């Protein structure tokens, strides 16, 4: 099978019929499967899917709401296509963009092509402005340069998609996860439509979650395989500054000054203890990482390709040189 289209849904009953129609019209010439993941809907979403499903449709229904990341991971796990496309089920993404994205991925050799909602049909104050600020922060901190991290419409090579490791609410950071797996990523402009039916499941309240996940992504990107490089320098600097402060206070004590109760004494002792703690965290994290890789026989690298030349080719080459 060439293509799997993974769509996550939560209470989208009025969007099911037009969603099926748009997918079938856009991908009629492809050998594809449609994987719909219902994330614990409480309306008639599942019933309408079953009524309209055909032989290309696969429905995965959760027994309760687990979140979009878990739904997307489930859809990818069940995908059988050589390429996997993801999109929302609210009709804001347009499936007619998928063929052009697939062509670009194939012809230009990318592992991931992400959508950029050029003319985004959302509110300026609560959706567009926070999104722009978040995109700028993510680009700055991760050095993964695409224009729209929040667009669900993406297409992957299957091996990259199934190695993403989606947990928590990390679906917002799929581009960074793909790069961590060695994937080559680009973006392209895609269409975006205003929501007609239902209500958005996202709001300004997700800002703190995004910031927390961004910190996790920065740690994964820079220190996941070498945590001592994060905790070690912090611990050493803290310990040395604390020792310097305590040595200064010791000299004052020897000279007859009363140092008890000084804030500087508390700071010095706290920095020494903090330094020891950070160094301990680093060592423990290193042991955990070694256990993680060695216990599961995991590698700290991903091989893109292994190229060898058969012996018969060597003989042909020698004969051509002799001639």
Domain boundaries along the sequence of the chain: 3-222, 225-323
Q: Residue 319's pLDDT is what?
A: 56
Element at 48 (helix H, strand E)? helix 45-52
Please state the φ and ψ torsions of residue 42, each to the nearest 5 degrees. -110, 5
Architecture of domain 3-222: Alpha-Beta Complex (3.90)
Question: What does pLDDT average to over the chain?
Answer: 85
Q: What are 195-254's pLDDT values in tens digits?
A: 777 666 555 556 677 778 778 888 877 888 888 888 999 999 999 999 999 999 999 988
Q: Residue 289's pLDDT is what?
A: 83
- Within 10 Å of residue 264's Cβ, how many Cβ atoms? 13
Please give the Cα distance from 14 to 198 (Å, whole number): 7
- In angstroms, the first-to-last Cα distance of the chain is 47
Q: What are 115-133's pLDDT values in tens digits?
A: 998 877 665 555 667 677 7
User: Among candidates 217, 153, 144, 134, which has minimal Cα distance to 183?
Assistant: 144
DSSP states along 122-187: S-IIIIIHHHHHHHHHHHHHH----S-TT---EEEEHHHHTTS---TTGGGGHHHHHHHTT--EEE
pLDDT classification of 6: cutoffs 50, 70, 90 = very high
Assessment of whether the complete model's pTM goes beyond 0.85: no
Integer-rounded Cα radius of gyration of the chain? 26
């Amino acid at each position: 099978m060439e293509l799997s289209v993974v769509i996550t849904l939560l209470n989208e009953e009025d969007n099911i019929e037009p969603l099926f129609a748009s997918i079938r019209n856009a991908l009629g010439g492809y050998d594809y499967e449609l994987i719909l993941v219902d994330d614990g809907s409480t309306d008639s979403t599942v019933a309408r899917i079953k009524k309209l499903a055909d032989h290309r449709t696969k429905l995965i229904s959760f027994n309760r709401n687990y979140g979009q990341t878990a739904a997307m991971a489930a859809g990818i796990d069940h995908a059988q296509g050589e390429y996997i496309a993801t999109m929302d089920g609210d009709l804001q993404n347009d499936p007619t963009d998928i063929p052009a994205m697939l062509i670009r991925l194939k012809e230009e050799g990318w592992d991931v092509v992400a959508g950029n909602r050029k003319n985004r049909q959302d509110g300026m104050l609560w959706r567009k402005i926070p999104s722009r600020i978040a995109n700028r922060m993510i680009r700055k901190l991760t050095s993964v340069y695409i224009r729209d991290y929040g667009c669900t419409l993406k297409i992957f090579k299957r091996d990259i998609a199934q190695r993403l490791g989606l947990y928590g609410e990390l679906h917002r950071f799929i581009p960074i996860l793909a790069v961590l797996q060695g994937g080559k990523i680009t973006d392209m402009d895609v269409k975006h439509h205003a929501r007609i039916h239902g209500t958005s499941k996202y709001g300004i309240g997700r800002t703190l979650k995004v910031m927390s996940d961004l910190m996790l992504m920065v740690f994964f990107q820079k220190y996941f395989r070498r945590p001592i490089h994060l905790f070690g320098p912090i611990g050493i600097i803290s310990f040395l500054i604390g020792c310097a402060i305590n040595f200064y206070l010791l000299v004052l004590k020897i000279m007859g000054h009363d140092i008890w109760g000084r804030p500087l004494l508390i700071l010095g002792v706290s920095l020494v203890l903090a330094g020891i703690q950070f160094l301990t965290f680093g060592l423990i994290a290193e042991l955990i990482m070694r256990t993680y890789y060695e216990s599961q026989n995991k590698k700290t690298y991903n091989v893109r390709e292994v190229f060898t030349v058969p012996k018969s080719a060597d003989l042909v080459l020698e004969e051509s040189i002799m001639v």
